[in-house]
Structure 1
Amino acid sequence: MVPNNGYAAYANNKIMTASPGELILMLYEGAIKFTNIAIAALEEDKEAGRKKDIVKAHDNIMRTERIIEELQASLDRKYPVAQDFDNVYVYLLRRLREANADKDAEILEEVLTHLRKMRDTWKEVMKRAHMVEK
Structure 2
Amino acid sequence: MGYGNASNVYKTNQIQTASPKQLVVLLYEGAIKNIRLAELALENKDNEKVNCHLIKAQDIVAELLNSLNHQGGENHIASELETLYEYLLNELLQANLKKDSERMTGARAILSELLEAWASI
Tell me if TM exceeds 0.5. yes
Runs of 4+ with deviation above 4 angstroms: none
Deviation at 1:34, TM superposition (A): 0.1
> Structure 2 CA distance, aligned partners of 1:65 and 1:4?
25
Gaps of 5+ in 2: none
Is 1:24 aligned with 2:24?
Answer: yes
Cα distance per residue 1:26-85 (max 9 Å; x no partner): 000000000000001111xxxxxxx40000000000000000000011111122210000
Is 1:67 aligned to 2:60, yes or no?
yes
AA aligned opposite 2:119: K
* C-alpha deviation, 1:110, in angstroms: 0.5
User: Hey, what does 1:4 align to over in structure 2?
Assistant: 4
**How far has the Cα of 1:3 moved from its partner?**
6.5
**Pairing 1:103–2:90 present:** no
Instruction: Tell me the equivalent position of 2:78.
Output: 82
Q: Which has the higher helix share?
A: 2
How many residue pairs match? The answer is 117
Letter aligned with residue 124 of structure 1: S
Residue 120 of structure 1, CA deviation: 0.4
Gaps of 5+ in 1: 44-50, 126-134
Larger radius of gyration: 1
Name the aligned partner's letter for residue 63 of structure 1. K
Q: 2:35: which partner in 1?
A: 35
CA distance in 2, matches of 1:105, 1:28: 19
**Aligned Cα RMSD in Å?**
1.1
Identity across the alignment (%): 35
Output the amino acid matched with 1:52. K
